[in-house]
């Protein structure tokens, strides 16, 4: 056993381990973002210093018993909704989640190289490679297979798997619902979500997202494609909330209302409902004024920011 230098987990090199893979390539329908939006707000919030993360985040708004029974008919239309205040929401604040938040990752085990089919944005297609395989355990029993392109040597593959698996562990537990695999490639390409997967290109991951403090917010967005879209994007109550709000938080969501609106809204909802002290008050007010009915929709889902137990 070779321990990596982290107090959070142990990486075990066990070449004898294996994990079956259904290789469901032919059935994969890529749901990943074809293009990351520029995320400069059309109205800049005032930057704030990052406070210490809350140990036990508590919702600032909880629906009363019975308030969610007839949700679609309970919305209040927004008067004079205006235009989307942001081009994209991924970078409206680097403090919604952060690298100082706890991770649910407890172990990362290497199990050798195996053929896996992965999507690569550099070629915009699927390809089968003899990937480095790491089994990531989150909480008590959630397992995610991290597949790293063999363009990396074993030591570098291990570093990349640990870096991203640790950040993914900061996601709320509900974003693990459908997450089965993580694909890691080199290259300066956008991340993606969908297909029970998270896609990462390491140059963009480290130099763009992580260096600017938005890696955790990135995974909030992409994991929403993985674990939320299929449950909420076509829900009549969600569509009724869109109609009642009459606006979108971002141009990206407005231009892709079924594909991007849930992912563009979930991070801001977490921010104003659970981490309001981490963001600028004007930003919080702007979110609440723009999508009050979508916020209410998420309030009634019972979702929380707690990581996997």
pLDDT of residue 59: 67
Instruction: List 198's β-bridge partners, or say none.
Output: 182, 193
Mean pLDDT value across residues 67-83: 94
1-25: pLDDT as tens digits: 333 333 333 333 333 333 334 334 4
pLDDT of residue 65: 67
Report the percentage of the chain scoring pLDDT > 70.
Answer: 80
pLDDT at 50 over 70: no
First to last CA, the chain: 25
Average model confidence (pLDDT) across the chain: 86
Q: Cα 49 vs. chain centroid, distance in angstroms?
A: 23
Q: Provide the pLDDT confidence category of residue 67 given band limits of 50, 70 and 90.
A: confident
263-302: pLDDT as tens digits: 999 999 999 999 999 999 999 999 999 999 999 999 999 9
Q: Provide the pLDDT confidence category of residue 56 given band limits of 50, 70 and 90.
A: low
Give pTM, 2 decimals.
0.84
The encoded tokens of residue 261 equal 């609106």
Judging by DSSP bridges, how do beta strands 125-138 and 192-194 pair with one another? unpaired
Q: Report how far residue 219's alpha carbon sits from residue 31's, in angstroms, rounded to the nearest whole number.
A: 15
pLDDT of residue 58: 66
pLDDT of residue 63: 83
pLDDT at 47 over 50: no
Q: Report how far residue 60's alpha carbon sits from residue 272's, in angstroms, rounded to the nearest whole number.
A: 8
pLDDT at 125 over 50: yes
Judging by DSSP bridges, how do beta strands 142-148 and 181-185 pair with one another? parallel
162-189: pLDDT as tens digits: 999 999 999 999 999 999 999 999 999 9
pLDDT of residue 9: 39
pLDDT of residue 64: 73
């Amino acid at each position: 056993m070779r321990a990596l230098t982290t107090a959070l987990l142990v990486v075990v090199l066990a070449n004898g381990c294996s994990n079956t893979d259904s290789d469901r390539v032919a059935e994969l329908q890529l749901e990943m973002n074809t293009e990351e939006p520029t995320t400069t707000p059309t109205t800049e919030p005032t930057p704030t210093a990052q406070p210490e993360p809350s140990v036990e985040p508590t919702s600032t708004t909880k629906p009363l018993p019975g308030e969610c029974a007839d949700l679609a008919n309970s919305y209040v239309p927004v008067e004079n909704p205006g235009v989307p205040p942001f081009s994209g929401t991924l970078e409206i604040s680097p403090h919604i989640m952060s690298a100082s938040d706890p991770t649910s990752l407890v172990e990362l085990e290497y199990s050798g190289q195996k053929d896996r089919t992965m999507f690569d944005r550099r070629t915009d297609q699927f390809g089968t490679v003899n990937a480095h395989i790491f089994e990531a355990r989150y909480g008590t029993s959630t397992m995610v297979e991290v597949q790293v392109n063999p363009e990396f040597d074993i030591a570098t593959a291990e570093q990349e798997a640990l870096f991203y698996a640790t950040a993914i562990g900061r996601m709320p537990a509900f974003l693990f619902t459908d997450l089965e695999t993580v694909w890691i490639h080199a290259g300066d390409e956008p991340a993606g979500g969908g297909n029970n997967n998270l896609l990462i290109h390491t140059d963009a991951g480290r130099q763009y997202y992580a260096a600017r403090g938005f890696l955790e917010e990135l995974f909030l967005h992409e994991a929403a494609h993985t674990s939320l879209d299929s449950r909420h994007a076509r829900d009549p109550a969600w569509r009724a909330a869109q109609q009642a709000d009459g606006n979108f938080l971002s141009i990206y969501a407005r231009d892709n209302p079924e594909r991007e609106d849930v992912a563009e809204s979930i991070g801001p909802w977490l921010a104003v409902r659970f981490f309001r002290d981490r963001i600028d008050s004007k930003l919080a007010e702007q979110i609440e004024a723009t999508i009050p009915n979508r916020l209410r929709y998420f309030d009634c889902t019972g979702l929380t920011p707690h990581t996997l137990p």
